Chain A
Amino acid sequence: MADSNAPKPSSSVKLVLLGEAAVGKSSLVLRFVNNDFQENKEPTIGAAFLTQKCNLPSRTIKFEIWDTAGQERFASLAPMYYRNAQAALVVYDLTKPTSLVKAKHWVAELQRQASPGIVIALVGNKLDLTNDNESGQGDGEGEGAEGEDSGDARKVSTEEAKSYAEEESLLFFETSAKTGYNVTEVFTAIANAIPETSLKSTRGPGASNAVSRGGEEQRVNLNGPREAAKEGCAC
């Protein structure tokens, strides 16, 4: 059977980041991959490619992350990057309402054009600019009435984005790439949400030209479509 070769199967998942310019897509990835933050990150030209592993109890997910350029005119390049993606992170800046509009456009585009069954997470970034504390709940649970707080840079209320996410059956998170709040949670949740049927076996790791796979074994779905347990990523 397919699972015979390793106790913890490893699969790679292609993930694409989409969203308006300067909402922090690259920063989220940088936080996730290197646990780092840079104030002045060079804008992404076309797309940047990074990988990171995420350990789940029953398997390891290797994310192949395509971090795309956010400027509007790069939008027509996006199909090149979300092609065959199994997961997408649609990011908006919760201090900028227009970025949520753009995010909705991306969601619509993905739902119609990307691979069927793509797991989409809606992420409101730059939580550090709001008055919300990191002590707040994670994993997309509502964060009370912070939307009404004054003197706060937040312009998109959690409720608004959350109800939209529910409508469209998206995962939903508010994060801060700067503080790292909720970042790994996003990726873990995505890893958990990927139906096992869509997982391929992992491919040769990067530069060291060691492993070259001729065929791609399609994993047989033995377990349920979803993993019940949730666990942090190994990063």
Chain B
Amino acid sequence: MFNLSSFVQKAQSAAQQLIDPMQGLNLTNSDRNPSKASLFQSQFRLPGSQTPLFEIPAEPYHPSFQRRLHLSESYLCFSTTPTSFAQTASTSTSSAFTGQTHGAGPSGNGFTFPLCAIRRVERLNSQNFQFSLAITTWNGISQEQAKDKEALKDRKDFREQRITVQLAGSRQTCERFCDGLKKGLRGAVGSVGKLKRVVSECYSEYLLRPEEKKSAASPDAGLGVVFKYPGDPKKLRDRAKMRLWAEYLRDNGRNATLIRQPTFHKLIRVGLPNRLRGEMWELTSGSLYLRLENPTLYTDTLDKFSGRESLAIDEIEKDLNRSLPEYPGFQSEDGINRLRRVLTAYSWINPDVGYCQAMNIVVAALLIYMSETQAFFLLSALCDRLVPGYYSSTMYGTLLDQKVFESLVEKTMPILWEHLVKSDVQLSVVSLPWFLSLYINSMPLVFAFRVLDVFFVEGPKVLFQVGLAILRINGEELLDAADDGAFISVLKSYFSRLDESAHPKSENPKLRAINRFQELMVVAFKEFSAITHSTIQDLRLKNKDAVLNNIENFAKRTAIRNLGPDSKLLSPEELGALYDRFFGVLYERQQRDHIIQEEQIRRAKASKTRASEAFPEHHDHGVEKGRVGLGPSTSLMDYDAFREFLASVSKWAISDAPPASPRRDPSDRNPYFGSFRRSDPNPLSPWGTGPEPANHEFMQRLFRKWDVTNSSSLTLQNVVTGLAQIKGGRDIMGTITYFFELYDDDGDGKVDREGILRVSEALLFLSRRGLEGVLSNSNSTTVLNGMTEADSTSLSPPIGGTVNERFLGSVSAFIRRCFEYADPDHPDNQDELAQARSHNTSFIPEEDKVVEDGAFTIGDDGDDDEEEGDLLAFEGSSAEKLDLTPRPPALGKPTAQDTTQRAVSKAQSEKANVALDPSNPLHITLPTFRMVVLADELLEQFFESSFPTSLHIIDGLPNVASQSSSLTTFSSLNFNRPAVAPPPGTQPGLAGAGRGLRGVLDNIVTDASRVAAEVRRRMEEAQRELEKNALPGQRDEDEEDEEDLQGPIKPSGAYSGDAERRSVRSSDRDLLDGADADAGSSKEIDNANQSRLETNIGQEGRIGPANNNATQRIVEFES
């Protein structure tokens, strides 16, 4: 659906674009080769800010440890898992922890110390030139305040935590590691306060406090403290567990300074004691480190958004009373309020997820065991790392993991799987709620929490292992179940009997004492021990595309169906294609933004840091952000995206600036420019691989028209409605009316002088790459311009040979007729002039903006208007007269006669048409506009067929690169000489096109009178014959007139000058281009400069061919 591959490739080359395989399911190709940083974060459950800086083999004198010490910006980690994240390490070494962990979880045995939890590091004198470090921690920091007074007394209960580590590297490696550590420790000093605050909320601090000091309130260990924890504490042996934990924590450190020994994992497997459960979840999931990074985020978020409303909040409100309603805590205001605050705060910090049903159940469960703040960060760790994409707006993570689960069932229980397929039972209808609510609303709470205990240590694979074990244990009964209903009831009854003995008939009392839940755990972790995180990850990658495509198809289907009545005007195929294009453009733009950002960060970083320290950035959001299936990013199209969208369907919407087209065939490259042109397409081009879109006033008008809510952005609905109005009706009157309304800015049914000129500009703009649609082949339209077949054939080159040339004539006639039939605003009131001027300048409020950033500018101040009026007067009537005999464009040297002739006609015209008097504001109405359009067959065809057809919604533009070369402009018209016409895509064509457009449209917009003048010039040679005799008498006078008029507008722009410019263009075009561009916007100047620069550089090496080329072109024009 989207052109993904090119971006992915680019992403990989532009910046090592990587996603944490555990954090975020945005699985891309790079996941097959995840970054060291993300693996590192995953192993030690560290926040995204941490990257592996140094590591060193180490042998602590602490029992049972022997592996590697890792240092990141603010963490010192030690693990017995043999991983390495050094740049030279292989991926399998870096991801060893995702395989078998034997119950120790990814982080293995060892420790994860925040550097701010390290009080002191001493280097010990040791033999063999080995480095030995003694690390003293802030273990028990919350009791430190007592140090002075009762220091001695405390010493008895409080042992300082001191670990000795022997570094086993070369002297140099050790030195470097120690330097890094020193630097890190210095930086961490400021965070000790944070640490103190964070650990003071941990129950372990209270637990380990000496009895006589427990008077202070204990930290919030969840609603359970008040409303009782689920289950019978005696049955759960809560006291015994608590004693074991107290001992463990005393020996091995607590919370931030805890050391993971094998006992630690065993203690977790047997179930956490109620009051420590929250803290251990926080620690094992790594959400403690998130809290440590920003301890006040939760309260700050609540404060910041206090009183604000959102859709998520509405949804949360609906569910507050229905979250674990059977637990007394959630029948109380206190419990409901906690739940509301945590869900609301999270919906603010992660608007992409917002709120998803099932989060209420999960958070409610967390709140039984932990404080609001802890639950908030744990929810964050869940959504980002543990069950990524589960609660996203498309729930792609949930759907993906269902597919993964199904393939695991197929692999491990083929007979059951076959049965499911045969009886047409869809497994996910059963298993989806297990995963989505982490078994919390499937199993009795006491057991669901036991699953969670292990889940937070070992990660998402636990959900799969437990799910598989459930099916395995119930296999026999499930094989008898023939439909969804039977299947569900088997499992329902199993869950309700989890506390019963698994072997009630056994004679062995020990065996009899094992309940079904214990059995489940054993099966899950023994029988399915082969299911590792890598297994899951591989299957996720394998199924990802199918799942996303399903979601996208569904989303597309739904979106298209809900587009409303306007969409019926378009065919289903058009709507489908439109949908793809709309989101395709948005998606690609986001990708590009992302890549560009990446690149900037990378460059900034590379320039600042030494190469050895430049580690790839970690990113929470993958490069695929923006893909519909992954949930919302944006569904709004801004003006630039709109331009890009138009450029993908219409050739007129492609910019005339020479594109850095990546699709250019090297063999096509013209030697003239070849040496300069960036040979590799710039991957950072703001338009990606597509052509640069134009930025014409017409496109701005279209955007504003479609943007019915004035929000400066379009929804899919807006675009469909907009296009349906143009393409849907296929009714010429409708299209004409539509066009008229585009230019009727105040909606009063009138388009004034300015508007008429803008309409004609738009017509030229839209036709400059040729007309499409059904056009008559006859030259009958030219009759309207007074041209006959005889004329056109007698003159060489043949005029009217191409429709596109004839269209220029039609536009000219259009302007003439418009002014001819225009109604004066106030025929008798000359004083209206001033008013009209101000009207002119104000009726397009964004005019200034257009001038600044548009590619084309329009002189719109009062003075110009006046002169414009004069010129128009000239144009209107002269066109009327002179166009009687069309001529081929004078692209060669104009004669003096031509100039004179123009002057003559101008004088005549001023007298001829009162309506064109600048002091008489005028306008045309819709009927007039319609009449004028219908008077010209070609224009009629343009509105009837050509314009609607020019939007290729379904097939798009076939070959974008070649489009830009085929401009129909005055300077690029070549009178049907295919032999010498620049081949599509070659540089002369492009350059010509660029120039041609500037030559025409710039002039048009800076000096509106030239619309007609340019058209006419094309025909001058034919005209000359007829008007030869009228010249001599008036020449001088009229020339002066002309200069008066032209001078102030554009000193060098008088017709004679312009004509001269054309004649010398081949040699001086660079300079003139510059002058030409002066009249344009700054952007235009840039373009001109750029092309000039290109030309110059190109010429340095290749003067010969360049000159030849230019000469040849002159000859062509003159022939």
A residues contacting B by CB (< 8 A) are: 12, 21-22, 39-47, 49, 51, 64, 66, 69, 71-77, 79-81, 83-84, 105, 108-109, 112-113, 203-207, 209, 211-213
Contacts and interface: CB of A to CB of B under 8 A. Distances in A.
B492 A207 contact: yes
Given A46-B429, A80-B429, A207 B555 contact: no
Given A64-B485, A73-B394, 17 more contacts: A42-B325, A42-B361, A43-B322, A44-B357, A45-B432, A49-B488, A73-B356, A75-B558, A76-B399, A77-B399, A80-B428, A105-B558, A109-B561, A112-B561, A203-B486, A205-B486, A212-B480
B357 A77 contact: no
Nearest to A73: B393
A204 B482 contact: yes
Given A47-B429, A75-B558, A105-B562, A206 B489 contact: yes
Q: Which 4 residue pairs of A and B lie closest in terms of their CB atoms, listed nearest first?
A: A206-B489, A207-B489, A46-B432, A209-B480
Nearest to A111: B561
Interface stretch (B135-143, B313-321, B615-623): B313-321
Nearest to A202: B483
Nearest to A50: B485
A207 B561 CA distance: 41
B166 interface: no
Interface stretch (B433-441, B685-693, B831-839, B1049-1057): B433-441
Given A42-B361, A77-B432, A109 B492 contact: no
Contacts of B315: 21, 71
A46 B482 contact: no
Give the one of B399, B483, B490 with max A CB within 10 A: B483
Nearest to A213: B482
Nearest to B321: A40
B477 interface: yes
B437 A40 contact: no
A216 B487 CA distance: 17
B481 interface: yes
A21 B555 contact: no
A42 B323 contact: yes
Contacts of A69: 357
18 contacts: A21-B318, A42-B361, A46-B433, A69-B357, A72-B393, A73-B392, A73-B394, A75-B558, A76-B550, A80-B426, A80-B432, A81-B429, A84-B424, A206-B489, A207-B486, A207-B492, A207-B493, A212-B482
B633 to A, nearest CB: 15
Given A46-B429, A204-B486, A76 B395 contact: yes
Nearest to B324: A42
A204 B483 contact: yes
B368 to A, nearest CB: 16
A203 B562 contact: no
B800 to A, nearest CB: 51
Given A43-B357, A209-B490, A213-B482, A22 B429 contact: no
Interface in B366-400: 392-395, 398-399
A51 B436 CA distance: 23
Contacts of A49: 429, 484-485, 488
Interface string B233-268: 000000000000000000000000000000000000
Given A45-B361, A76-B551, A204 B481 contact: yes
A45 B489 contact: no
Give the one of A12, A44, A49, A83 with max B CB within 10 A: A49
Given A64-B484, A73-B394, A207-B493, A45 B358 contact: yes
Contacts of A203: 482-483, 485-486
Given A64-B483, A207-B492, A209-B490, A41 B558 contact: no
A51 B485 CA distance: 8
Contacts of B356: 71, 73
Nearest to B441: A45
A74 B558 contact: no
Interface string B534-561: 0000000000000000110011011001
B41 interface: no
Contacts of A77: 395, 398-399, 432
Contacts of A80: 426, 428-429, 432
Contacts of A12: 483, 485
B386 to A, nearest CB: 17
B268 to A, nearest CB: 26
Nearest to A64: B485
B360 interface: yes
A208 to B, nearest CB: 9
A81 B550 CA distance: 15
Contacts of B357: 21, 43-45, 69, 71, 74
Nearest to B477: A209
Nearest to B552: A76
Contacts of B395: 73-74, 76-77
A46 B436 contact: yes
A230 B892 CA distance: 91
Contacts of B433: 45-46
A42 B558 contact: no
Contacts of B488: 49
Interface in B313-343: 315, 318-319, 321-325
Nearest to A49: B488
B537 to A, nearest CB: 23
A40 B322 contact: yes
Interface string B473-514: 000010011111110111011000000000000000000000
Give the one of B318, B321, B424, B429 with max A CB within 10 A: B429
A44 B433 CA distance: 9
Nearest to A203: B483
Contacts of A211: 482
B598 to A, nearest CB: 29
B373 to A, nearest CB: 25
A126 B315 CA distance: 19
Nearest to A102: B562
Contact of A45 (B325, B436, B485, B554): B436
Contacts of B554: 75-76, 79
Nearest to B479: A212
Contacts of B477: 209
A81 B402 CA distance: 14
Contact of B490 (A64, A105, A108, A207): A207
Contacts of B319: 43
Given A40-B322, A42-B323, A204-B481, A76 B394 contact: yes
B318 A206 contact: no
Contacts of A206: 485-486, 489
Nearest to A78: B554
Contacts of A22: 318
Contacts of B561: 105, 108-109, 112
B84 to A, nearest CB: 40
Nearest to A210: B480
